[in-house]
Structure formats: C-alpha cells, structure tokens
Structure 1
Amino acid sequence: MRNFAPIALVFLLLFSSCSDYNKVVKSTDFEFKYKKSLEYYEGGEYVKASTLLKELLNVFRGTSRADKVYYYYAKSQFAMKDNLMAGHYFKTLVKEFPRSEFAEESQFMVGYCFYLDSPSPRLDQQVTQNAIDALQLFINVYPKSTRIEEANRLIIELRDKLVYKSYLSGKLYYDLKNYKAAVVALTSSLKDFPDTKYREELMFMLLKAKFLLATKSIEEKKHERLSSALDEYFTFVDEYPDSKHRKEAEKYHTTTAKLLNYKGDSNL
C-alpha cells in the first residue's frame, strides 16, 4: 500500500492535467485560450501551446495581437525542433508584420532555422544558400542589431560549407582525371570565396590540376596551359611561401619550366 499511494497520486495528477487541457481545447473563450497558450509555452509544454496557437492564428488575424500569436507559434515549432515549420512562420511574421516588435528577432530566426537544417557539404546546399541569404537580409535591414556579429559568424561558417562543397566537386573531377573540369570548379571556388579557410588547399589542387591538364594536352594547347600552370605556381608560393605543399609544388615548377624551355620559351 505504501508504494501504491505515490503511483496513484501521479496518475491522478496526470489525469487532472489532461482533463484541464482538454477543457482548454474545447473552450470557445479565445481570450482564455490565448492566455493558456502562453502559459503552456512559458512552462515548456510546447505541444500544448502549439496546438492552441495554431487555432488562434486565424482567430486573432487582423488584431493587435496577431503578430504575437505568430511569434509564439513559430517559437513553439522551433522548441519542438521543427526548424522548417518554425522558419516558415517566422518568415510569414516578417512579411505580414514588418513593423512588429518581433520582426527583428524573427528575421534572424529565419536564417538560423535554415542554418540548423543546413546539410552535410556532400549533399545539395540550397538550404545553406537560403540561410546565407536570410542572414544577409537580417544584417542589411537591422545593421545596428546586437546579433550582427553572430549573423556574420554564421554566414562565414555557411560560406565555408559552400566552398568545401565546391572543393569536393573539384576534387572529384581531379580524382576522375577530368582536369579541365577540375580547373573550372576550383577557379570558381577561389573567385566566389576568396577568404575561405580552405584557400591554401584549393590553390594547391588548382596548381596540380593545371599542371596535369597541360602535360596531357594536345600540342596546340600545351604551351598555353603550361604557362598557366607556371603562373599558378608563382601565385601559390607568393601567397604561401611556407606551405606544407611547397616541396611538391617545386617539382611541378621544375618540370613545367623544363617543358617550356624545351618548347623554346626564351623567357625562362
């Protein structure tokens, strides 16, 4: 009996809680539902809060509290880790209520929800680009926000993911010995993301791809491509004179210089 009493009390409390919530759900007093939805949210009962707030979205449309209902509904979805749904409602809030007190935070959250859903660099990166666009819009619209530094940090992280994706594409072409495609992909990466932390690796792979493309080219294109590889070598060692790849880069330089001399390049 001693053990039964606490268990019975727990069941009684759960039943009472469910009974109270069902009364709220069935109530036609929307002011009461609104008050309870915020109480549930503040109490961490996000499923209950979300259920009530979803109904109130239409009920409070056109009123002074419509933006607050959208805000807490989006926050409830976010708390339940439904970033896609949360982002959608944060975005809707910004669109429908641009002057709302919740608009600034909501614009940030649009980008942050995309950020959290950004996939591995090996997968399609459209969500990553969406996150960058949303966070950049936040920076542009709210340049004095206290979250500007955070937004910039997230953009840098996201952009590095995009460039790593590009690096993987270039590496794939390189591994497949499609050096022409590798040169295009790697050059594009460096142009689009000049400040990436992968810059040294990208530049060295570009040097290798240009060298191998040149050595495997037909005679009509070989000289031009060897010259381009040589230019890439000088660019690389000028920017990274102490690179761990310096020794290997020197081998490419030596071979390229000999091939150009053999072809009669009087400038070497």
Structure 2
Amino acid sequence: MSHSEAGKMRVREIRGRNALLGLPLCVLAVAVMACFVFSCGASKEIGSETAENQFERAKRRYDAGRYLEAIEQFKTLLARFPGSKYAEPATFFLGKSRFESKEYLMAEMEFERIVRDFPRGDYAEEATFMLGMCAYAQRRPAPYDQTATERAILLLTGYVSLYPGGAFLQQAEEKLKECRSLLAKKLQANGELYLKLHLPTAARLSFEEVLEKYEDLNWADWALVGIAKSYEQEENWAKAAETYEGVLERDGDAEALGTAKERLRKLRERIETSESSG
C-alpha cells in the first residue's frame, strides 16, 4: 500500500468519527440507552442461569468431544458456584477434559482436588485411577528418563491397594505391567550397552537387577541371557553354560530361548575344541 492510499484510509476513519460526533445528542442518547437495556437483559439472562443448567451445558460439550469449550464452561461454573452440589462433578469432568486435551499436569491437579476435597464422593475412585493415568500418559521411551513411569507405578499401585475390587482394577494392572516392562527394558538396555563396552561386571549388575525386580516378566529370560554373555566375556565358560541352561529350563520367552540354545551350542563346541587342543 502506498503512502497516499494509507492517508486516504486514515482520512476516512477520521471522517467517520467526526460524522458520529456530529449526530444530534438525542440520537446518541437513544443509541446509548438501547445498548444499556440490551446489555442488562443479556447479563440478567446469564446471571439467572442455574448451576444445574450450566453443568448440563458443559457436560454436553464434553460428551461431544469439544473439550476446550468444556474446559472453559466447567471453569466458569466452578467460579460462579464453588459451593454447589455440582462442584464435585464439574471438577472431575474439568480434569477429564484436560486429560483428553493432553493437558496432563493440569488434569492431575483437578483429580487431586477430587481425592482431597471429596474423598468419599462418587468420583473419588475414578479420580484416583486417573491420577495414575496422567503419569502413565507422560511416560517416555526406554532410553530416556523414566520419572513419569515410576510415578505411574506408584499411583496405580496406590489405586489397586485402595480399591482391590475397583471398577478400573483390570486396566490399572495392565498399565502397571506395561510400566514395569518399560523399566525392565531400560535396565536390560543398560546391560547390553555395558557388554558392548566390554564391562561385564557392570552389565551383570544391570541384568541381575532385572531378575530381582521383574522376574515375572519375559525380560527376566533376556536378563539371564545377558548374564551368560557377561560370563562369556570373562571367559568363564562353565558359568556361562550353566546360565544358558537355566534359560532353557524356564521355558519362557521363545526368542530368548532360541538365543540361549544357539549360544549354548556354540559355547559347548568352543569348550570341546579347547579341551581337545589342550
């Protein structure tokens, strides 16, 4: 846009304002009064809305998947009717709306309010479960920091302890198993890295921790394979063979079993060759 065109636009703006100022005072007064009446009517309509009506409207937004709108409406309800009977469900569904919007930290705060302020309420159990789910949703892949995974385990274990026959027990146990498997995978990866660096003792410590904490998972079979490899690096053939045999006796993870079987075969060939040449 040229300076001349910009100047013309500015003149039109000024003229428009001057034209408004030039209107008779009576016309302006009528216009102002009309705006005032309309505004008062709208405010009265909003102000007369009950907590129930506002909750139902916000809940419809939530049910329709319009979570951002639901968040704003639940927040408004809680600000206007903090002591109403809808404070508990509004807080809960505000948390759920934030969770669905991937605002996990904010969602966690709402669920904490439910557990703290309404411990015997209708939403206390699910809010306790959702606290664990907020942490679960923030977990990261095995190579990275596992603080969120550890927190998810803590919170989901708390749910299972508080509600042993709870409605979300099966889901909680499934998520717990996933989280524990993720931590086991990280330890296993650490052990494999130590093997690559030819640090068999450090590797063995990682694998032994997998066995100690996650013996019930398939990662335990791979941990035994890792321990056997560490003995191989130390040329402790007897301990390596014994450990591989332990994997075969477990009859656990099929892939780990196949790896142990093949490495044991090669190890025995090496031992036989060594003995015959000796």
TM-score, scaled relative to structure 2 = 0.71
Q: Deviations over 1:125-172 (max 9, x none)?
A: 111111111111111111112321121111111111111111111111
Worse-matched range after superposition: 150-159 or 89-98: 89-98
Structure 1: which amino acid aligns with 2:89? K
For the Cα contact (< 8 Å) 2:237–2:267, is it kept in 1? no
One-letter code aligned to 2:160: I
Query: How far is the alpha carbon of 1:95 from its aligned partner?
Result: 2.1
Corresponding position of 1:209: 230
Task: Return closer, same or farther for 1:174/1:40 CA change in 2, 3 Å cut-off.
Answer: same
Q: How many angstroms does 1:237 deviate by?
A: 3.4
The AA in structure 2 aligned to 1:104 is E
**Alpha carbons 1:41, 1:49 under 8 Å: kept:** yes
CA contact (8 A) 1:230 1:257 kept: no
Match of 1:128 among 149, 174, 181: 149
- CA deviation after TM superposition for structure 1 residue 255, in Å: 5.3
Aligned to 1:87: 108
Q: Which residue is 2:180 aligned to?
A: 159
2:263 paired residue among 245, 248, 251: 248
Counterparts of 1:54 and 1:121 in 2: how far apart (Å)? 37
State whether residues 224 and 244 of structure 2, in contact with CA within 8 Å, keep that contact through their aligned partners in structure 1: no
Gaps of 5+ in 2: 1-41
Question: Which structure is larger by alpha-carbon Rg, 1 or 2?
Answer: 2
Deviation at residue 50 of structure 1 after TM alignment? 1.0
Matched, 1:70 2:91: yes
* Shift in Å, 1:87: 2.4
In the superposition, relative to structure 1, how do residues 237 and 93 fare at CA in structure 2: closer, same or farther (>3 Å)? same
For 1:258 and 1:181, locate their aligned partners in 2 and report how far apart those are by CA, in whole Å: 29
Distance 2:268 2:77 in 1: 70
Shift of 1:116: 2.0
1:97 shift after superposition? 1.5
Query: Structure 1 residue 236 and structure 2 residue 247: aligned?
Result: yes
1:62 CA drift (Å): 4.6
SS of match in other structure, 1:244: helix
Distance in 1 of aligned mates of 2:241 and 2:65: 63
CA drift at 1:56 = 4.0
- Taking the TM superposition and a 5 Å limit, the aligned residue runs for 1:166-205 are 166-205=187-226
How far 1:65 moved relative to its partner? Answer: 3.0
Q: Residues 115 and 256 of structure 1: is their aligned pair in 2 closer, same or farther, counting only changes over 3 Å?
A: farther
Give the number of aligned pairs: 230
Does the CA-based 8 Å contact 1:74-1:90 persist in structure 2? yes
* TM-aligned CA deviation for residue 92 of structure 1: 2.6
C-alpha change, 1:42 and 1:200, in structure 2 (3 Å) is closer
Instruction: State the alpha-carbon separation in 2 of the partners of residues 188 and 256 from structure 1.
Output: 29
Tell me the residue number matched to 1:113.
134
Q: CA RMSD in A?
A: 3.2
Q: Please tell me whether the aligned partners of residues 27 and 33 of structure 1 are also in contact (alpha carbons under 8 angstroms).
A: no
What's the offset of the Cα at 1:188? 0.5
Closer/same/farther in 2, CA of residues 96 and 259 from structure 1, 3 Å limit? farther
- Deviation, structure 1 residue 234: 3.9
Shift of 1:173: 0.9
**1:99-110 matched pairs, under 5 angstroms:** 99-110=120-131
